[in-house]
Amino acid sequence: MPRLGHAGHRQNLRSGDGSAQGGGAMESTRAWGTVDSLIGPGCLVEGVVVFRGGLRVDGEIAGGVRGDPGTGSCLLLSGQGRIMGDVSADHISIGGELVGNLHAAGRVELLPRARIIGNISYTSLAMHAGACVAGRLCPGEWQGASTPAALQPSGYNPGPLVQNAGALT
């Protein structure tokens, strides 16, 4: 898969590329669109991120992420990325860590190293072996309560969620 090049160049956004899974060779058959915005490794964004088009997160976001609804917004949280806040977009692919609720108007793909603490509402869901969800899976337009108190980020260990055979901390 080509990497993000000079300013103005866009790359294809594939949900199953090696970096999204932390180094695997599996290639997804579904192309999610293009990367219009990138939050790179080592980057920490605090606050709500609002985007249009494709957003790839290789860094960390301490706040929510919202794609422009109905425009085909695509979010890829790579295997090295982390989001602590609620996420909504048309299409979402998770390969890293998410602490918060996830709402996708369309498809959600949970890659093998995905770790989610929160509820997921979706129209279509693909969950690969190895993905872990501590929360509820809610098909359709679910508008439930926020993350249960036991799963709130306040009690969350900021260290990696992947430890010793993928057990949650």
Q: Is pLDDT above 50 for 65?
A: yes
Please check whether residue 4 lies inside any domain of the structure: no
What digits encode the pLDDT tens for the residues 132-146? 999 999 987 544 434
Number of domains in the chain: 1
Q: Is pLDDT above 50 for 72?
A: yes
% of the chain with per-residue pLDDT over 90: 57
Please check whether residue 5 lies inside any domain of the structure: no
Quickly state the pLDDT bin for 15 (edges 50, 70, 90).
very low
Please check whether residue 115 lies inside any domain of the structure: yes
Structure tokens at 82: 């982390």
Average pLDDT, the chain: 75
Please check whether residue 156 lies inside any domain of the structure: no
What's the mean pLDDT in 51-78? Answer: 93
- Domain enclosing residue 63, as ranges: 15-140
Q: Is pLDDT above 90 for 154?
A: no
Please check whether residue 127 lies inside any domain of the structure: yes
pLDDT of residue 151: 42
Quickly state the pLDDT bin for 109 (edges 50, 70, 90).
very high
Q: Which residue has the higher pLDDT, 136 or 33?
A: 136
Asked which of 13-22, 78-87, 134-143 is least confident by mean pLDDT, the reply is 13-22
| String of DSSP letters for the chain | -PPP-STT--EEEETT-TTTTTS-----S-EEEEESEEE-TT-EEES-EEESSEEEESSEEES-EEE-TTTT-EEEE-TT-EEES-EEESEEEESSEEES-EEESSEEEE-TT-EEES-EEESEEEE-TT-EEES-EEESS----SS-GGG-GGG---S-S-BTTTB--
Please check whether residue 93 lies inside any domain of the structure: yes
